[in-house]
Chain A
């Protein structure tokens, strides 16, 4: 296991933000930590990248302890944070060479590697422009390129596409997808289920500092059954009432419930609702998405 964490716990002034997280990642695996804001995703990444000390528990990266051998760990990892950590008043190339030199590649190899990465991330045309003239998407790609310059064995991506427009997000996904094909071990955090579904081999669901589920996207989806029926009401109160009648989960005016996908089941659901004077405006059915998994598993915790 290239990443091995047991019982990671972190408190800030008496408030526990991480409560005993266990995590292990195989070499070459892509793991997504998925969870809402405040779930503890960033704290987990900060501990694994030596930026924060755990209150309890311990973790190793490539066999090095993140607290006791922090500098060794820093030699084999890279971190791309939530905001692009780039110098606006340096050019793209200068930013890359700086990080290469800090990774102790030496000046010549650092320049050469910078050139390769600029080419690869579609920044070659802009490499001698100051970063302040870059678009948001270009900054993120440069940030990612800076993470790769030392050929890290484990790459941490903390919400790599948060705040990007859809087009830039797609380009970023392609860039990350290429790393995946290279066989790099990646641990990424995201709030977007689509992102986790698309990029990760395995998804770890994090909610309020605890792991609530873990597995492949398909395994997680099958955990909550086959088809889903979605009932659209015009009134949130009706939605809540119908949950009492037919089960499922209400989210505003929507009710989401498991189904076997047959017409007969749909009929019986609508009949039961009609008997109670509840009339959904629209009905749709779909294969479960990670959203369903997410809502179901986090709602169980609340209940």
Chain B
């Protein structure tokens, strides 16, 4: 790519990020729901079910990492819907008939998604502190937890963008991203996998979300880390590489007929 081409690509991407962030900021109800629902879930689990769930620690300290991942799931499904909205309502034709670098459109959405998730995750984390979550992490451990969550959010946002590209309608984009909301329930987010039926346990233990949760939990509350850290890193990196390729190929296919 020439110097000029590179400058144009950076400028296009910046413009698209500006746009997506602005649209996000104005769509307050979406952000509100993606914060409110996880907070409600947290309240429900901590105060209603929490007393009956034995985790060997104060339940709120157990459940918060899972709630944080649940929050990013809501954020990702909004991303899928925003991308689908562009793909199905004429905006994509306008953008493609301009001399815009094609990846700028998706990059804009993904960046806005990461910003949105950072905000909602921070708010949910603050709410958890208010409800009695007491992490005992060192600065390095905070750094590790936030870094892993960030990597997970970037990967999930690219996956969501890809789902938004294949979705035929905005509604189906929301349906396609349903599993992102569902997967945390089948992980170690709310109960320890050992308490699950024998057939479900391997699914719960080996699905990608469990090692991410275990790692964040270990960093924040000092539970044993074991091999979770590396497995989580591998899952997130793998998911990121897969999702970027998946989203880019689909985007190219969808826009070149």
A101 pairs with B90, CB closer than 8 A: no
Contacts of B11 in A (CB 8 A): 101, 104
B96 near A99: Cβ-Cβ < 8 Å = no
Chain B residues contacting A89 (CB-CB under 8 Å) are 22-23, 26-27
- Check: A84 CB closer than 8 A to any chain B CB: yes
Provide the bound-state CA to CA distance between A171 and B34, in Å.
42
Q: Contact check, A71 vs B93: say whether CB atoms are below 8 A apart.
A: no
Query: Do B8 and A104 touch (CB < 8 A)?
Result: yes
B 226-245 contacts with A by CB, 8 A: none
B256 within 8 A of A: yes
CB-CB < 8 A to A298: which residues of B? none
* Distance of A51 Cα from B100 Cα, bound (Å): 13
Among A188-230, those with CB < 8 Å from B are none
Q: Are B19 and A51 in contact (CB under 8 A)?
A: no
Interface residues on A, range: 20 to 34
Docked-complex contact A85 and B91, CB < 8 angstroms: yes
Known interface pairs A74-B99, A103-B99, A104-B99. Does A85 touch B90 (Cβ–Cβ under 8 Å)?
yes
Q: Does any Cβ of A come within 8 Å of B97's Cβ?
A: yes
How far is A49 from B89 in the complex, measured between Cα atoms in Å?
Answer: 17
Do A50 and B96 have beta carbons less than 8 Å apart? yes
Interface flags for A153-194 (1: CB within 8 Å of B; 0: not) read 000000000000000000000000000000000000000000
B203, CB-defined interface residue at 8 Å: no
B78-113 interface bits toward A, Cβ cutoff 8 Å, 1 = contact, 0 = none: 000000000001110111111110000000000000
> A71–B99 contact, CB under 8 A?
yes
User: For the complex, is A79 an interface residue (Cβ under 8 Å from B)?
Assistant: yes
* Residue A75 at the chain B interface, CB threshold 8 Å: yes
Minimum distance in angstroms from A96 CB to a CB of chain B? 12
Q: Shortest Cβ distance from B86 into chain A, in angstroms?
A: 9
Interface range on chain B (Cβ under 8 Å from partner): 20 to 34
Q: Does A83 lie within 8 Å of B98, measured CB to CB?
A: no
A186 → chain B closest CB, angstroms? 15
With A and B bound together, what is the CA distance between A85 and B99 in angstroms?
16
CB of B23 within 8 A of CB of A102, answer: no
Closest-by-CB residue of A relative to B23 is A89
Q: Please determine whether A85 and B256 come into contact, CB atoms closer than 8 angstroms.
A: no
Q: Tell me, rounded to whole Å, the shortest Cβ–Cβ distance linking B101 to chain A.
A: 9
Which residues of A (42-62) have their CB < 8 Å from a CB of B? 49-53
User: Complex formed: what's the CA distance from A66 to B90 in Å?
Assistant: 20
Docked-complex contact A81 and B96, CB < 8 angstroms: no
- When C-beta atoms are compared, the residue in chain A nearest to B95 turns out to be A102
Q: In chain B, residues 2-27, which have Cβ atoms closer than 8 Å to a Cβ of chain A?
A: 8, 11-12, 15, 18-19, 22-23, 26-27
Q: Which residues of B contact A90 (CB under 8 A)?
A: 19, 22-23, 26
9 pairs, A vs B, C-beta closer than 8 Å: A51-B255, A52-B257, A53-B257, A74-B99, A75-B99, A79-B94, A81-B93, A85-B94, A99-B94
The 10 closest A-B pairs by CB, nearest first: A85-B94, A85-B90, A79-B97, A74-B99, A89-B26, A101-B15, A83-B90, A75-B99, A102-B98, A49-B97
Given contacts A77-B97, A85-B93, A146-B94, 18 further A-B contacts (CB under 8 A): A51-B93, A51-B97, A52-B257, A74-B97, A74-B98, A74-B99, A74-B100, A75-B99, A79-B93, A79-B94, A79-B97, A83-B89, A85-B91, A89-B22, A89-B23, A89-B27, A101-B15, A102-B95
